[in-house]
Amino acid sequence: MRKTLVLLLIVLATLLTGSLFSTVLLTDDFTGTVGTLLTANGWTLHSGTGTPFLISSPGLTYSGYAGSAIGNAASTGGTSDDINKGFTSTNTGTVYMAFMYKPTAASTTADYSVSFGNAAGASVTGLFGRLYVQRDACFPPVLPSLC
């Protein structure tokens, strides 16, 4: 019993210590006015001339995700502008990204949707940790004999 209690205390101390050293670098729950551009809400255009991102409602939900059903969402009507939002730079540790994403359209050619950049603002030259989205050419089935 005593060994179990000591082990439990060690585990709790480890968990609490780990959470004390984590820092949230950026959170955006898109709480601005629905229908406004993200570029009017702290985001910066760095390339692209597509459809701009807008704040939309309702927000996304996913059971068990801590950020679920908080705030609104960001949406676009198709090929979108490339926008970014800066956060405090860090040179130590590991940086993680978490978000909910619901693509409503995708092409059969892969293109990135989310990434880290080497800078924020109107000039972003390096994009890292990209999330690519691509639609399966056979979904919805167009020419079943080719799939």
Q: Is the overall model pTM greater than 0.75, yes or no?
A: no
pLDDT tens sequence for the chain (147 residues): 444 344 444 544 444 444 556 788 888 899 999 999 988 998 888 887 778 889 999 999 999 988 899 999 988 866 667 888 888 888 888 888 888 888 777 778 877 777 888 777 788 878 788 888 887 777 665 555 555
Euclidean distance between CA atoms 137 and 146, whole angstroms: 10
Q: Are 88 and 47 in contact (CB under 8 A)?
A: no
CA 103 to chain centre: 12
Euclidean distance between CA atoms 103 and 64, whole angstroms: 20
